[in-house]
Amino acid sequence: MTKLSPLQIERLKYEPKLPSSLQNGVNYVEMIEGSATQSVGDQEDIRNLFSNTYGKPTVTFKSSNNAKESKTLNVGVILSGGQAPGGHNVIAGLYDALKKSNSSNKLYGFLGGPSGIIEGKYVEFDDEFINAYRNTGGFDIIGSGRTKLETEEQFQKSLAVCKSLNISAVVIIGGDDSNTNAALLAEWFVKNNCGIQVIGCPKTIDGDLKNDQIEISFGFDTATKTYAELIGNIERDANSAKKYWHFIKIMGRSASHVALEAALQTQPNITLISEEVSEKKMSLASIIDYMTDIIVKRSEMGKNFGIAVIPEGLIEFIPEMGSMISNLNNIMPSLESDPTFKNADAKSKIEIVENRLDSENASVYKSLPTLIKEQLLADRDPHGNVQVSKIETEKLLIEMISAKLKSINFSGKFSAQSHFFGYEGRCAFPSNFDADYCYSLGYNAFALISNGLTGYLSSVKNLTAPAQEWIAGGVPLTMMMNMERRHNAMKPVIKKALVELNGPVFKELEKNRQDWAMNDRYLFPGAIQYFGPSSVCDITTVTLKLEQSKELANV
């Protein structure tokens, strides 16, 4: 048996909290339907594509004194996409709910992500199996993967596997792309009278899967606290040594929620927000000028140090960079199939690309450091796009700021260190909040199943209140969808929630920016706490508090 750390031993003993409506088990739950729903955009197109599952009502659960009949059900579960703290507890909550409902129920875990249900690779969970993973980080209980469920062949194979195991419901734990797949699978199962339900659970540390019904995606709380601890440690070091500027790139390609939350927890000198850069059409030169100005002014105060937080996806939001990357994404497929390009050395590849790009985009590409040019030509992601996480934006900014300082005859000192915080936060021990929230999401997923629903996302709301006051229910997956261009074709996808520049979270950063830039208001959050007073152990993110305060003010 693998040796366990003292913390893991104690965390296995933790009993997650549930909303009061679920505490007696799903057999004692009454479902209340809300009004019919529609998609957030492209209503006609989404309705046509999801004619069997579109327009369903939102639902909430309340406890009941009357027990419902409990049928024997076999359920399958999939972990899909990137890891997020708390995934194990979603499965544990699902398992406990179905076993409490009927001890004959079975839960199967498909191995390696969605490919597991296609290929029939699975395990059957029992108490011993589940108990070894409660309240732990990672997705190693069954592994994850990024296979898409979208073709007729995949659906047919998934159906055959489910029939072989007598599975009547599948729970897909994932982000926006994974839950888009869940919506497609649910629609196909209904259309073909398969009798198999599909329920999703909202996972992504990026925080971009949320709306009025989904207040936060799981993993965001733990990941941002993990990053904030690291940033706080670096702030303490910078404030001690007083000789380095630390440029910290932080995970979040499509949205800057993680960078924004980490900044609010630590109060660095500079925080860039991708959505703001895009909205204000800030050029790369203007960003360099903005950062350089702060560096110079701090140096004039005798402060040749500081902290800059940079979102992972920043480079795509800079207008001229986004245009160049889009152009690059369009030309690379043909270049990569060209033997001349494939066999060329790095310098020659750069020259070929410069000659193939549109003139304005070629000028932008030529202006970049060689390191960044090469990274832009690295292997594509599964969508055929530049892998932004591999572009060292933090080093690009350091190099360009250094050049700018030299050009203005800067007489102070500028010495920089670069960091990228990504994988450090994806598999951390879940915070008490994420442990409770994830367990509730899994438990609630079985409540949705037991009430015969399909094409729904597990929803637990009122999250700034004590857990017993949380509101359990579900939201139709189609409600969150619109049409977007993917691989040169319009596809239905769950719309990402970006940082709202008029929202209370960004406004909190905006009003403090100038003060934090010149003065050292660093906060040191320290490590996530699991034991002790609720005021320390059960706190959630600044983002959630500010957003819910606004919602309550509007009620």
Cα→Cα distances 257→196, 222, 279, Å: 35, 13, 16
- Residue 161 pLDDT greater than 50, yes or no: yes
Region 198-203 average pLDDT: 98
Q: Quick one: pLDDT at residue 382? A: 64
Q: What is the pLDDT of residues 366-393, one digit of tens each?
A: 999 999 999 999 877 766 677 877 899 9
Spatial CB neighbours of 480, under 8 Å, sequence gap ≥ 6: 39, 40, 176, 179, 211, 214, 457, 494, 495
Q: What is the pLDDT of residues 295-331, one digit of tens each?
A: 999 999 999 999 999 999 999 999 999 999 999 989 9
Q: What is the pLDDT of residues 468-509, one digit of tens each?
A: 999 999 999 999 999 998 777 899 999 999 999 999 999 999
- Do 6-215+430-486 and 220-426+503-550 fold alike per CATH? yes
d(CA 49, CA 53) in angstroms, rounded, equals 9
Q: What does the CA dihedral 471, 548, 499, 431 come to, rounded to 10 degrees?
A: -60
1-15, 233-247, 365-379, 382-396: range with lowest mean pLDDT: 382-396
Q: Quick one: pLDDT at residue 390? A: 83
Q: Quick one: pLDDT at residue 550? A: 66
Other CB atoms closer than 10 Å to residue 63's CB: what's the count? 15
Tokens of 468: 């017993």
Point out the residues that are catalytic. Answer: 206
In the CATH hierarchy, which top-level class contains the domain 6-215+430-486? alpha beta
Residue 553's pLDDT band (boundaries 50, 70, 90)?
low
- Residue 272 pLDDT greater than 90, yes or no: yes
> Which amino acid, residue 412?
G
User: DSSP secondary structure string, 267-320?
Assistant: --SEE--HHHHHHTT--HHHHHHHHHHHHHHHHHTT---EEEEEETTHHHHSHH
Write down the domain spans for the chain: 6-215+430-486, 220-426+503-550
What's the whole-model pTM score?
0.95
d(CA 456, CA 55) in angstroms, rounded, equals 11
Region 338-351 average pLDDT: 93
Packing angle, helices 542-554 and 257-266, rounded to 10: 100
- 116-206-400 Cα angle (round to 5): 120
d(CA 539, CA 338) in angstroms, rounded, equals 55
Q: Quick one: pLDDT at residue 212? A: 87
Residue 555's pLDDT band (boundaries 50, 70, 90)?
very low
SS3 (DSSP) at 443: helix
In contact, 181 and 172? CB cutoff 8 Å: yes
Q: Quick one: pLDDT at residue 383? A: 63
Topology, domain 220-426+503-550: Rossmann fold (3.40.50)
Cα→Cα distances 200→61, 134, 185, 344, 445, Å: 17, 20, 11, 45, 8
What mean pLDDT, rounded, does the chain reach? Answer: 95
Q: Quick one: pLDDT at residue 489? A: 85
